Amino acid sequence: MQLSLRRRLTGALPQPVRYGLRRMIYSGAAVTCPLCEASVSKYISHGADFEVLHRRKVVGGMIREHDQCPACRSADRTRLMMLYLKNVAGVGVKPLRILHIAPDFGLYLWLKRHKQVDYVASDLDLARYRHIERIQKADITAMPFKDKDFDIVICSHVLEHIPDDRQAMREILRVLKPGGVAMLMVPLATDGQGTDEQPDINDPGEQERRFGQWDHVRLYGKEDFIARLSGEGFKVSPFNGFDHFPEEAAALQLNPQETLVIAERT
């Protein structure tokens, strides 16, 4: 997939510069992003419109209007993770050691404001994350961290890219402390037809057609994703913001259908 000239040019700028420019362009008083604290004129649309996403009723992939902060690019799923971290996990209340895999900028900014958080970020491609402090190079299937190292692992929209996703799940389990939780999100097909995958695929057009994005190697069925995690030893508890904190979830403009999968090391 060739990026447009505009995306190539903006992509060459450091993320903090892009963030500052977008914050100026979208400056306004309509919405204040709870993650980056930018006051913006509106949230913008986010997601894709491929046929497979509609046919398979995919949550976490289809276009949603008024969804994304135009400054830090955090979407409703990021605000859902923030809600869980603040109201359930205890961020801001107690010391926590957190691993953030493929860190998104908005949640990074929010977590860095909490002094009790011992924050570690990791990704295989460090060039994408020059702006992230303490970013460490790590293959999610063979992470360099010690056993039982983290209270929380955040891994959002990563596993659908990983050919050996079960090995990645085992690695996440390994680095969690007993009682620690992984906060996991992937696009989830809710049509009951299971998971479609081809780990060795290398055909961007076919990947868009089958999985809804050019670099995905699978589209998870919701029940199958939970079953895979359970099979690797996690205690799995889906979390929906509206079930637990309905007023705050509505104020954060969350997606009522979106599920944050909480996978605990018991």
Q: DSSP letter string over 182-202?
A: EEEE--EE-SS---EE-TT--
Q: Is the pLDDT of residue 14 over 50?
A: yes
pLDDT confidence of 3, banded at 50, 70, 90? very low
Q: Is the pLDDT of residue 7 over 90?
A: no
Q: What is the SS3 string spanning 97-137?
A: EEEEECCCHHHHHHHHCCCCEEEEEEECCHHHHCCCCCEEE
Give the pLDDT confidence score for residue 256 in this predicted structure: 97
Average confidence (pLDDT) over 62-81: 95
Q: DSSP letter string over 246-260?
A: HHHHHHTT--TT--E
End-to-end CA, the chain: 42
Give the pLDDT confidence score for residue 28 in this predicted structure: 86
**Model confidence over 105-155: pLDDT tens digits?**
999 999 999 999 999 999 999 988 888 988 999 999 999 999 999 999 999
**Model confidence over 193-206: pLDDT tens digits?**
999 999 999 999 99
Give the pLDDT confidence score for residue 11 in this predicted structure: 57
Tell me which residue range forms the domain holding 165.
Answer: 45-64+74-264
C-alpha to C-alpha distance for 17 and 63, rounded to whole angstroms:
26
Give the pLDDT confidence score for residue 210 in this predicted structure: 98
- Structural contact between residues 114 and 92, judged by C-beta atoms closer than 8 angstroms: yes
- Residue 32 is assigned to a structural domain of this protein: no
C-alpha to C-alpha distance for 179 and 64, rounded to whole angstroms:
34
Average confidence (pLDDT) over 54-76: 95
Structure tokens at 165: 């996703």
* Phi, psi of 233, deg, nearest 5: 110, 5
3-state secondary structure of 177: strand
- Residue 135 is assigned to a structural domain of this protein: yes
Average confidence (pLDDT) over 3-9: 49
- Residue 60 is assigned to a structural domain of this protein: yes
- Structural contact between residues 122 and 135, judged by C-beta atoms closer than 8 angstroms: yes
- Residue 244 is assigned to a structural domain of this protein: yes
- Quote the crossing angle between the two packed helices 165-175 and 222-231, to the nearest 10°: 50
Give the pLDDT confidence score for residue 98 in this predicted structure: 98
Give the number of domains in the chain. Answer: 1
Give the pLDDT confidence score for residue 20 in this predicted structure: 75
Q: 225 Cβ partners below 8 Å, 6+ apart?
A: 186, 188, 195, 261
- Residue 28 is assigned to a structural domain of this protein: no
What's the pTM value of the predicted model, to 2 decimals?
A: 0.92
3-state secondary structure of 115: coil
- Residue 78 is assigned to a structural domain of this protein: yes
Mean pLDDT of the chain: 94
The CATH number of residue 147's host domain is: 3.40.50.150
pLDDT confidence of 173, banded at 50, 70, 90? very high
Give the pLDDT confidence score for residue 12 in this predicted structure: 61
Nearest to 136, CA basis, from 15, 187, 146:
146
- Residue 34 is assigned to a structural domain of this protein: no
DSSP 15: H
Residue 233 bridge partners (DSSP): none
- Residue 142 is assigned to a structural domain of this protein: yes
DSSP 139: B
Average confidence (pLDDT) over 171-177: 99
Q: Is the pLDDT of residue 29 over 90?
A: no
C-alpha to C-alpha distance for 257 and 239, rounded to whole angstroms:
11
The residue assigned the tokens 């056993």 is 147
